[in-house]
Structure 1
Amino acid sequence: MSAPSVEASGAVGAPDVEVVLRKAGRTKIRYPARLLADDGTRVTVRAPWAGAGVRDFGFVRFEPGDVFVEHFWRDRWYAVKEVYAAGGTLKGWYCDVTRPATVESTVLTIEDLDLDLWCSADRTTILRLDEDEFTESTLPTADPAAAAAALQALDDLEALAKAGDSFPRTGL
């Protein structure tokens, strides 16, 4: 059974939904977001780039002014984030492999499982990321079922990226 939805709590459209990203039992980042939708399975929020300064991955730069439209599922092992430049141009999709999202009141929590995928806006660049971190983590031995679900989620994300129009595109 899923946690009560943010929508059911009366917080639809509230600017103070908090997204909490946890990794290895610790909070990695928390940030406020605007709730766009919650249908009981998928939660969609909009948030400005929450990092400090510019983060240059080589294949994409996240920087102040960027806007993320983020999709989290209560029944899937990943999150898909549409990344827009300050001017509204889609940069691409950054996907995190996570445990299914939980929502309690106005707090949306996900647990990062190290694996990520990047898909550029023109879909010419699709990159599987951090597989070495995943292999070196304790998850494969500590929770083999979760590790298998995480690897399957990465495969699913890659298939969606290659399918062409399967990633959400909400726009700004």
Structure 2
Amino acid sequence: MHDTESTGTLTPGSEVTVRLVKHPRPDVRYAAVVTSDDGTRITVRAPWSGPPVRDFGFVRFEQGDVFTEHYWRDRWYSVKEVRTGDGALKGWYCDVTRPASVRDGALVVQDLDLDLWLSADRSTVLRLDEDEFQASGIEQRDPAAAARAREALDELEQLSHDGFTGLLGG
């Protein structure tokens, strides 16, 4: 099921399990297909795997939605382009995370609770879950990681101004 090369890069076209570590909450795991891995950035595509509908108020994730997810081995975030099943862009959901790794054939990312949403028309940028971040205790447990997480959220907000084209190309 998982296809990894000896270098630890994932092979385009192979299936991989994405594992979002959400300690102390249960991890989230889902299947995705690798579209690219250049040794630094890993891109996968996956259908929405949550409940049939998840309404955040600012966006609804639904069965049929497709996520193109970009993870970095050297950055503290991921960027997920969200489209409807027929290809209409909904926007970008970004997670602040520790850098991604490939372990035991899985793409593993530790979620740090800070998120950012950018609407498809780029008119709405929302910083999300700062209360969860504070409640996590990371600022006391690992102040250096907490500082990196806040810097990553600021960087994502800056990158959102051009719809992440400077980061993702296109």
TM-score scaled by structure 2? 0.90
Equivalence for 1:46: 45
Q: How does 1:151-170 map to 2 (within 5 A)?
A: 151-164=150-163, 165-166=165-166, 168=168
Question: 74-83 vs 159-168, which deviates more?
Answer: 159-168
AA in 1 matched with 2:108:
T
TM-superposed deviation, 1:104: 2.4
- DSSP-derived class of the 1:133 partner: helix
User: Taking CA–CA contacts closer than 8 Å with sequence separation of 6 or more, which of the two structures ends up with the larger relative contact order?
Assistant: 1
Q: Deviations over 1:140-168 (max 9, x none)?
A: 00000000000000000000012443353
- 3-state secondary structure, aligned to 1:166: helix
Alpha-carbon distance between aligned partners in 1 of 2:159 and 2:99, rounded to the nearest angstrom: 18
Matches within 5 A, 1:22-171: 22-25=21-24, 27-164=26-163, 165-166=165-166, 168=168
* Distance change (3 Å), C-alpha of 1:67 and 1:169: farther
**Residue 169 (structure 1) shift:** 6.7
When residues 49 and 142 of structure 1 are mapped into structure 2, their CA distance, relative to the original with a 3 A threshold, is same
Residue 13 of structure 1: aligned partner = 13
CA distance in 1, matches of 2:162, 2:80: 17
1:12 deviates by 2.7
Unaligned runs of 5+ in 2: 1-5
Q: CA deviation at 1:86?
A: 1.0
Distance in 2, matches of 1:85 and 1:140, equals 37
Which stretch of structure 1 is more off in the superposition, 21-30 or 82-91? Answer: 21-30
Maintained 8 Å contact 1:6/1:106: no
- TM-score under structure 1 normalisation? 0.89
Q: Which amino acid aligns with 2:8?
A: S
- Kindly provide the amino acid, as one letter, of the partner of residue 123 in structure 1: R
- Alpha-carbon distance change, 75 to 58 in structure 1, aligned in 2, over 3 angstroms: same
Structure 1, unmatched stretches of 5+, are none
Q: Distance in 2 between matches of 1:128 and 1:93?
A: 12
Q: CA deviation at 1:50?
A: 1.0
Return the letter of the residue paired with 2:86: G
Change (3 A) 1:163 1:121: same
Maintained 8 Å contact 1:117/1:129: yes
Looking at structure 2, the residues matched to 167 and 106 of structure 1 have their Cα atoms a distance apart, in angstroms, of: 26
